[in-house]
Amino acid sequence: MIDFELSQKVQAQKDLIRSLAEGAMRPISREFDEREHEKPWDFLKMMWDVSRGQSMTGENSREDPEAAKKSGPRENTLTAAITIEELSWGDAGLYLTIPNPGLGGAAVSAAGTPEQKKRFLTPFESGEPKWAAMAITEPHCGSDSAALQTTAVRDGDDWVLNGTKIFCTSGQMAAEKSDGFVVVWATVDKEAGRAGIKSFVVPAHTDGMSVIKVENKLGIRASDTAMLVFEDCHIPADNVLGSAEVAKSTEGFKGAMATFDATRPLVAASALGIGQASLDLAREELEKRGRPIRYGISDASLTAMESDFIDAESDLHAARLLTWRAAWMMDRGQRNNLEASMAKAKAGLAVTLATQKAIELMGPLGYSRKMLLEKWMRDAKINDIFEGTQQINMLIVARRILGYSSKELS
């Protein structure tokens, strides 16, 4: 049975993050949206102190069932989802700049061996601020992972990577500014298609990995989105994620894809935060104008404005329940592939509706730069794109429900 009553620990963290979001993020939100390639270092240092040692990406969240019986289920992923929603309520772009293992850490957690988790994730628990990133998308390859051109070739005790990756969230910070790492998807056998794809951990400052461009974007502008080039980039043989047996087999791609089971609920949570911020502001402004949203009355008695607002709010609540369910399953070691994609797909639609409706209700003021609503609408769109587009996630949902393979339904 799923219990949505938050524990005291999770509720306390939720309240702490909400206060940080309101007091430390909202005041600088507009500033660093406009100064896209500048970093809010004072904010980052403060958040590193707050978040150090805490999970924001659900690392190590697949609890051993026997251990869970003795100690009770963990709440890593659920806590991460709630934390990320609150941070994104403050500012999604600023949230993505915070030093943490990010998508790279989630990949290590999902597909790495215990030794790899210890080696790559432990440094995030102390010391200087660190970032990690994941590099999948290529200039000629978006959602079709089988078309990846970045190669990994074994050379003695090393793997040698060659290729170009684009749209890597926090790619610049992970590659240049810390002793973090970038998880790179590459193929060891182009003829094998998806079966030849594996994940490789490339530590920051590795020779042969370089940042050649940082994108100018529509939204989440405070976060860097980088193009990375790998030219004869040598990494140790044991930096391929997974056991030696998995690294030699076709199971590597399954391990790589398992990353999304952990990260899609967290992307959905970020969408929820943006959508909730938009509806909260719209509600407050309507109340100031003497037009409060009335709850608990019949649909026939609602104004068109109230009906639209409640529909958007209901969509957001539904997306939240799906997100918490996917996180709950992850924390209990249950397969959540279907639920993670459902949460991501629903949240992407819900945040789009919520931000658009909030602007519509505010009229010209909502469209202007006097309010943050137009920024939140820009920030929202990425949640419908990265970690699998809306169409890809809907396709996954259909395959899982109908029992079709990727070859049977594409």
How far is the C-alpha of 277 from the C-alpha of 95, rounded, in Å? 14
CB atoms within 10 A of CB 293: 18
Spatial separation of the C-alpha atoms in residues 92 and 30, rounded to whole Å = 12
197-203/132-135 β-pairing = unpaired
Question: To 10 degrees, the CA torsion angle through 308, 311, 316, 318?
Answer: -170
> How, if at all, do strands 132-135 and 181-187 pair?
parallel
* CB 227, CB 164: distance < 8 Å: yes
User: Do 358 and 373 meet the contact criterion of CB atoms below 8 Å apart?
Assistant: yes
Side chain identity at 111, as an amino acid letter? A
Residue 141 main-chain phi, psi, to 5 deg = -145, 115
Token code pair at residue 180: 């973090």
Looking at residue 362, its amino acid is M
Residue the block writes with tokens 């924390």: 331
Supply 55's token pair.
Answer: 């999970």
CB distance 227 to 176 below 8 Å: no
User: CA–CA separation, 405 vs 225, rounded Å?
Assistant: 33
User: Residues 161, 200: contact at Cβ < 8 Å?
Assistant: yes
Q: What is the bridge-based pairing of β-strands 132-135 and 151-155?
A: unpaired
Catalytic option among 86, 138, 215, 387: 387
CA 8, chain centre distance (Å): 25
Q: What is the DSSP letter of 300?
A: G
Direct distance between the N- and C-terminal alpha carbons of the chain, in angstroms, rounded to an integer: 34
- Element containing residue 228 per DSSP (H, E): strand 225-236
36 catalytic? Reply is no
Question: How far apart are alpha carbons 37 and 35 in whole angstroms?
Answer: 6
Is residue 86 within 8 A of residue 95, CB to CB? The reply is no
- Cβ neighbours around 290 below 10 Å, total: 6
Residue with tokens 């969230």: 169
Active site residues: 387
